[in-house]
Amino acid sequence: MAEDDTNGNGAAEGLPPPPPVPPDYTPAKTEIEPVKKKSLRVPMARRGTGNKGQKIQILTNHFKVNVTNVDGHFFHYSVALFYEDGRPVDAKGVGRKVLDRVHETYDTELAGKDFAYDGEKSLFTIGALPRNKMEFTVVLEDMTSSRNNGNSSPGGHGSPNETDRKRLRRPYQSKTFKVEISFAAKIPMQAIANALRGQESENSQEALRVLDIILRQHAAKQGCLLVRQSFFHNDPKNFVDVGGGVLGCRGFHSSFRTTQSGLSLNIDVSTTMIIQPGPVVDFLISNQNAKDPFSLDWAKAKRMLKNLRVKTSPTNQEYKITGLSEKPCREQLFTLKQKGKDADGEVQTMEVTVYDYFVNQRNIELRYSADLPCINVGKPKRPTYFPIELCSLVSLQRYTKSLSTFQRSSLVEKSRQKPQERMQVLSNALKINKYDAEPLLRACGISISSQFTQIEGRVLPPPKLKTGNDDFVPRNGRWNFNNKRLVDPQKIERWAVVNFSARCNVQGLVGDLIKCGKMKGIMVEDPFDVFEESPQVRRAPPLVRVEKMFEQVQSKLPGAPKFLLCLLPERKNCDVYGPWKRKNLAEYGIVTQCIAPTRVNDQYITNVLLKINAKLGGLNSMLTVEHSPSIPMVSKVPTIIIGMDVSHGSPGQSDVPSIAAVVSSRQWPSISRYRASVRTQSPKVEMIDNLFKRVSDTEDEGIMREALLDFYVSSGKRKPEHIIIFRDGVSESQFNQVLNVELDQIIEACKFLDEKWNPKFVVIVAQKNHHTKFFQPNDPNNVPPGTIIDNKVCHPRNYDFYLCAHAGMIGTTRPTHYHVLYDELGFSADDLQELVHNLSYVYQRSTTAISVVAPICYAHLAATQMGQWMKFEDASETSSSHGGVSNAGPVSVPQLPKLEEKVSSSMFFC
């Protein structure tokens, strides 16, 4: 390196001096760049708090944190681990063991300092270590279970069996590790105090990260499973069985947050999924819902077990499963080394079956393993087999596949807690965790209060609603349509019923619809016909069943129906649903409602009619302020309201496209009528990439153009002057992208339609996956609907608030956290909060306030429904998903079919 430098300098010295710069030349050139950079939008600051509503005292699961040592520094060190031969360590989970050993062995070299290690490549101390670069060597005796009790066979023959020891020794002898610790950065603790004053910086985020890492390490030392900011103790009291060999494991989330009232520790109950510990066979039987080990699908079992950790009996050694044996235990051979040597001094070997070895040489009784495959825990070239009944799955191993509908509903049912119960559990958690004893927190001068933070909330009054014959105020976030007519009822005509083998009294159902419709103001004509699926088609693939049903409908009906009521045999996961919706909406433009009638009563029929009416273009109820129109900022100037969301495949599926949905209001000044555009995009990409999609100088195929043109046509040829965007599902780290990538695309789409058009924007993000909860002191119920909080536990600088618009009936209410990132309209806090609250009351599918604004809810529904269209496509084209081609290069994203024109602006998602 040094040599290069002198060469560089030498060359520079040999050159003539640079020519003089014209005074007005370069500055102009360099100025252009920074101006662009400066115009990056950042989340806006709070403009004040709201005052409307009745004040209410509330407790929240934020615990006050006092920091006394503000002058200290965190020192950040990079950690590199190597094996003895210099290969880097890539095995997960070894790091903590190695660094614990470094801490024990080299206490004096580390000047007695404690450190916080993140388990990967970062280590933090309070104050510096003696040197900027340090190297250590440590030895770990046994990389597996500390509860190893020798390899002696259960026959009790004294010394451990020699051959066993050889077979077991290789992966598990003591290992030597080299550890390099080198200085990376210095973080002033003062940064935390600055963040509390609203001056966030890289340093303040890092400093809070260090505090979170201290808590994670604290949990790791207690033997917890760590999942991001949550930790789970190995205690069967915390496990609930959700079926399929999967358990829900209850633990805690904890994170430090900067708030208006100072630093707080947010602690909440959290649940993760784990594999049922215990005998491998028991797990496989529940996982595959089999009746005994002999009816298991072993190919499926092999995929399921790979990389799981097992303990083997009787030695209690721990291994990672690498596969299954090709043959059953009594036939699977391996090479066993003999004790003696032959005449040439070579070690003698013989081929034995795994069964024979364990039963005859080790005297272990095997009850049922003889005809089942063995568990392989060895390397690809050197398999190591164990009979399956000697293997037990270790506790706290995460299950990361997506849950089935039944598992999910079982989990929700078993893990919900009433507010009082949750408070009790959280209070106990603080006591159990003994954070006061954590030496690093003490060194930072940090103490954590054990009291829930008390704050003042406000309960907003519910908006007045209008039906066809009545104006009324909902009570406790709910209302009903008893003796009420719909505000804009449609006529159900030219319609028919199709029945996919559902058992139900179809004539009775139709009679109920007609009778109930009449009371609500909906004229329901008699259906043209009822089409029953023929019994021989019932077992056919879903696509075939749908085709056959359509052939029947087309052969009997005089023309295309306006509406089809479809009866399905099962409520959840019916595989006909996706293809049926797609056929109706994409190919024929027919409005359709699917139902799986089990308990049919008046309430059920009313709910079905509400959905049908909305899909046909009607309106069930509306806000009176929408009718009169008198909504601040919205009613006087053409305003479009947009809801945006991206839904991703489950964690295990990396090649399933993500689905972006954008819902937009229509027929201004209404804020109750919406349409949706849905597109696929690259898997796991959160930013919507099709908002503006220029294909030529005059063509834009983006989503926004569709929404804006529909608004223009449906709102009496008016362009929206205000665009209010609600964005769901983005974390704080992505706010800047929403403001600078997505908003830019939306502005481009507007400019592309009309260069001179400058609408004003509001951008609001809604988050539900956070851990702030609210409780009423001395009241077992959830906070009342309309509860809003914009002080104390909110952001020190940014404009955010929490709203519980809905009545939490079961479990503990999860508030929606709204972040106002951008507001060019200059809303007052009260007006904006009221608009958000009102938008929770315009959801056409139910007679309740909902927990998040309707446009976002509709975006979820639209994405989910059209995602079902994709699902069966994947099933029908297996070649692409299993071919080896897909791994090379980026995967091309299959496009969704477009909605047929007649339904393209309908509320098909209702």
Q: What is the pLDDT of residues 376-392, one digit of tens each?
A: 998 888 889 999 999 99
pLDDT of residue 692: 92
Query: In the 8-state DSSP scheme, what is residue 584?
Result: I
**Which tokens is 668 given?**
């201004």
Q: How far apart are CA 857 and CA 775, in angstroms?
A: 25
Position 367 pLDDT exceeds 80? yes
Please report the beta strands in 484-547, taking only residues with DSSP state E, as ranges in sequence order.
495-499, 530-532
CA dihedral 278, 280, 281, 282 (to 10 degrees): 30
- Strand 622-623 versus strand 465-467 pairing type: antiparallel
pLDDT of residue 438: 87
Q: What angle do CA 336, 341, 347 make, to 5 degrees?
A: 45
Q: Determine contact, residues 727/742, Cβ cutoff 8 Å.
A: yes
Please report the DSSP string for 619-660 in residue order: BS-EEHHHHTT--TTTSSS-EEEEEEEEE---TT-SSSPEEE
Name the 3-class secondary structure at 313: coil
Cα angle vertex 24, ends 21, 28, to 5°?
A: 105
E strand or H helix at 350, and its extent? strand 347-353
884 phi and psi, to 5 degrees? Answer: -80, -5
pLDDT at 490: 94
Alpha-carbon distance of 618 to 901, in angstroms, equals 18
pLDDT band at 343 (very low <50, low <70, confident <90, very high): low
At residue 323, φ and ψ (nearest 5 deg) are 170, -165
Is the pLDDT at 593 greater than 60, yes or no? Answer: yes
Average pLDDT, the chain: 86
Integer Cα distance of 248 and 276 in angstroms: 9
Of 377-386, 453-462, 835-844, minimum mean pLDDT range: 377-386
Each residue's pLDDT tens digit, 530-580: 999 988 888 899 999 999 999 999 999 888 899 999 999 887 778 899 999
At 359, is the secondary structure helix, strand, or coil? helix
If one compares 455 and 174, the residue with the highest pLDDT of the two is 455
Mean pLDDT of the 240-244 span: 92
Percent of the chain with pLDDT over 70: 89
pLDDT (average), residues 295-308: 91
- Paired residues of 595 in beta bridges: 567
Tokens describing residue 255: 């994170």
DSSP code per residue over 20-83: PPPTTTHHHHHHHHHHHHHT---PPBP------SEEEEEEEEEEEEEE---S-EEEEEEEEEEE
886 has a pLDDT exceeding 70: no
- 280 and 305 Cβ atoms separated by less than 8 Å: yes
Task: Give the list of residues 6+ apart from residue 145 with CB closer than 8 angstroms, or none.
Answer: 311, 316, 317, 318
Radius of gyration of the chain (CA): 33
- Token digits for 905? 């602006």
pLDDT in tens, 396-444: 999 988 888 889 989 988 888 899 999 999 998 888 888 888 889 988 8
Q: What is the C-alpha to C-alpha distance for residues 418 and 424, in angstroms, rounded to an integer?
A: 10
Averaged pLDDT for residues 841-852:
95
> What are residue 311's DSSP bridge partners?
318, 392
Would you state the pLDDT for residue 18?
Answer: 61
For residue 11, pLDDT over 60 is answered with: no
Distance CA 725, CA 733 (A): 18
Closest CA to 842 of 519, 463, 459: 463
User: What pLDDT does residue 462 have?
Assistant: 96
What is the predicted pLDDT for the residue at 273? 94
Dist. CA 670–CA 639, nearest whole Å: 9
Question: What's the pLDDT at 22?
Answer: 57
452 strand-pairing partners: 63
Model confidence band, residue 69 (pLDDT cutoffs 50, 70, 90): confident
Higher pLDDT, 803 or 333: 803
- 3-class state of residue 812 by DSSP: coil
First to last CA, the chain: 67
Predicted TM-score (pTM) of the model is: 0.87
Q: By C-alpha distance, which of 641, 625, 629 is closest to 759?
A: 641
**Is residue 9's pLDDT more than 60?**
no
- DSSP lists the bridge partners of residue 179 as 81, 136
pLDDT on residue 247 = 94
Alpha helices in 758-853 (DSSP H): 829-838
For the chain, give the longest Cα–Cα distance.
106
Tokens of 196: 């509390």
Buried b (16+ CB within 10 A) or exposed e, 284-318: bbebbeeeebeebeeeebeebbeebbbbbbebebb
Amino acid letter, 810: I
Helix axes 854-876, 542-556, angle to 10 degrees: 100
Query: What is the spatial distance between Cα 722 and Cα 57, in angstroms, rounded to a whole number?
Result: 36
Confidence of residue 24 (pLDDT cuts 50, 70, 90): low
Contact 50, 461 (CB under 8 A): no
Q: What residues are paired with 101 via a beta bridge?
A: none
Judge whether residue 85 has pLDDT over 50: yes
